[in-house]
Structure 1
Amino acid sequence: MVWRAWGEGSPVVLLHGGSGSWTHWVRNIDTLATCHRVIAADMPGFGDSDMPPEPPTVDTLAAVIASGLDTIVRPPARYDLLGFSFGGIVGGLVAARQRDRVRRVVLIGTGGMAFPRSVLPDLVRVDAGDAEAHRENLRRLMFGDPARADDLAVAIHRDNVRRTRFKTGNVPESDVLLHALPSITARVAGIWGTRDAFAVPYLDARRETLARFQPDLDFRLVEGAGHWVIYEAPGVVNAALMDILG
């Protein structure tokens, strides 16, 4: 498994989304690294990392990541965990495993709480190397403002899709995170874009679900942003993350 690190200070671990890699966080790392040691994973089966051992499940990913963190952030040191999309589901399972190690969990555009699949727009068929098809799919699925799907976003997405081997399947629509939440003792916060195609029309329900486990939940909405909110609205998201992390 491949990890990358920047900066110094209290550790902050970044887990990317499905069909992704550490590059999902490319617009957030520099800001976070001004005050923190930022540790970004390529989760098993994504990016530069090998596939996980059998069986290739979300629980296996969490076990591998937790083991890696025991080496990178040696106990009893504690860390904060930020999970985008599928990475939030995995991060929740890691936090449930490492109850005495995780200070805060920030869930960003995360599924796994048993909400029905949103009605998603049709996607364009992508042939190998077809940058414009990738751009159109990003506009339809990942961004609230289609104009934000710039050349860098297309390059990141195209490379990440090419290297993805782990299949997330129906995990985002499952209840796997919902079952982990009662075991998480860390502070939980949430950030969602108001135009997240995977979350609308269940944004309020997500807030209510998380608040059942943490009544003083810090839950923030980024107006007009889509699913890849950490890329589309880095100024707003970075300020929110720095505030949440203290």
Structure 2
Amino acid sequence: MPGASNAPVEVQRLQAQATRHATPCGDGDLVWHTWGEPSPDQPPLVLLHGGSGSWTHWVRNIEDLVAAGRQVWIPDLPGFGDSALPPVGADADALVEPLYEGMRALWGPQPCDLVGFSFGGMVAGLLLADHPELARQLVVVGAPAMGVVPHRQFELKAWRHLPADQQPDVHRHNLAVLMLQDPSLIEGLALGLHVANVMRDRMPRRRLAHTDILARSLPKVACPVHAIYGRNDALYKRWIVELEAAFKAVVPDFRGLAFIPEAGHWVQFEQPWPFMAALLAALEDGARPSQAGPAGQAAR
């Protein structure tokens, strides 16, 4: 993370604890950050961040997951954070092969437990549709592209063309309309992380999040799938009540949807402790072998 000495203390502490790995990606590296030790009882736990993000989307969850006995791996997805652009393409589908190659290089044929937030949840679905053997289970968090929203529910403001002194107000606006329900959380850590992340987004023309591509990919995902969303996720608003039926209709082994009260889109940041309880419960349940039947129906 550029300017690490100026990063929030939470980020500096986690960076000091992390091990950094790199796998090939386009003309450079796909950068991975890892915490904790390998466990003989648990596979690697891979967390994928959201759009315009980096590993810091998980800054309030990493230490608790390590304390729960997990080894945590978080890549800066291609085109974001410290990672190079993918070799071809400029959207979620372009990230699949660099991630696949990186995961195979880092821990071989062992499947991981895969958790994807927002854009990262969409990437995770595409990844497992092409390479279902990569994961023991999938948890999607605040993922778009489920085909239940008739039109975009928010409008972000552009900021790159503005003088530097006018940009912070636009970042506050964007955090408020998309990421966080509680406006009191915008200042401080959230704003600092957001600004550092969006400055390093080199894939600004992404469009797949506004399609139903995740819903079309999930029938090919054979492992257990859980979903976690903030009850007030700005991606869905009043259509959020349709999500559970949408997942049940397309996921062969859908294990359940958890809504976190008093949380918006960035649910794991806004409500880290209720989110952690839901995630650990999902991971425990998802470790049970898949009993997948036809798409949309788990075998009983």
Deviation at 1:134, TM superposition (A): 1.6
Coordinate RMSD, CA, aligned: 1.8
Q: Which residue of 1 aligns with 2:124?
A: 91
1:65 paired with 2:106, answer: no
Superposition pairs of residues 77-88 of structure 1, within 5 angstroms: 77-88=110-121
Aligned mates of 1:51, 1:45 — CA distance in 2: 4
The counterpart of 2:229, out of the listed 192, 203, 226, is 192
Which 10-residue stretch deviates more, 113-122 or 204-213?
113-122
Aligned mates of 1:166, 1:203 — CA distance in 2: 27
Letter in 1 for 2:61: N
Letter in 2 for 1:38: V
Aligned mates of 2:253, 2:138 — CA distance in 1: 15
Q: Which residue of 1 aligns with 2:27?
A: none
- Pair 27,168 (structure 1): closer, same or farther in 2 beyond 3 Å: farther
Deviation at 1:55, TM superposition (A): 2.6
What secondary structure is seen at the aligned counterpart in 1 of 2:103?
helix
Superposition pairs of residues 1-150 of structure 1, within 5 angstroms: 1-8=30-37, 9=39, 10-34=43-67, 35-75=69-109, 77-114=110-147, 115-120=149-154, 123=157, 125=159, 127=162, 128=164, 130-150=167-187
Larger Rg belongs to = 2
Cα deviations by residue, 1:60-106 (Å, 9 ceiling, x for unpaired): 2011111111111211x111111000000000111122212311111
Decide whether the 8 Å contact of 1:11 with 1:80 is kept in 2.
Answer: yes
Deviation at 1:225, TM superposition (A): 0.6
Decide whether the 8 Å contact of 1:118 with 1:201 is kept in 2.
Answer: no
Decide whether the 8 Å contact of 2:224 with 2:253 is kept in 1.
Answer: no
1:235 paired with 2:264, answer: no
The counterpart of 2:193, out of the listed 156, 159, 162, is 156
The counterpart of 1:225, out of the listed 263, 268, 271, is 263
Deviation at 1:224, TM superposition (A): 1.8
Decide whether the 8 Å contact of 2:223 with 2:253 is kept in 1.
Answer: no
Q: Percent identity?
A: 37
Q: Which has the higher contact order (CA 8 A, sep 6+)?
A: 1
Deviation at 1:172, TM superposition (A): 1.1
- Pair 68,124 (structure 1): closer, same or farther in 2 beyond 3 Å: closer
What secondary structure is seen at the aligned counterpart in 2 of 1:217?
strand
Aligned mates of 1:175, 1:140 — CA distance in 2: 22
Letter in 1 for 2:136: R
Cα deviations by residue, 1:213-245 (Å, 9 ceiling, x for unpaired): 246532000112111111101011111111111
May I ask how many residue pairs the two structures share in their alignment? 245
Letter in 2 for 1:33: V
1:201 paired with 2:201, answer: no
TM-score, normalisation: structure 2: 0.77
TM-score, normalisation: structure 1: 0.93
- Pair 41,101 (structure 1): closer, same or farther in 2 beyond 3 Å: same
Letter in 1 for 2:79: G
Decide whether the 8 Å contact of 2:225 with 2:254 is kept in 1.
Answer: no
Deviation at 1:121, TM superposition (A): 5.2
Letter in 2 for 1:233: Q
Deviation at 1:201, TM superposition (A): 1.8
Cα deviations by residue, 1:174-201 (Å, 9 ceiling, x for unpaired): 1211221111011111111111111112
Which 10-residue stretch deviates more, 93-102 or 150-159?
93-102
Decide whether the 8 Å contact of 1:6 with 1:37 is kept in 2.
Answer: yes
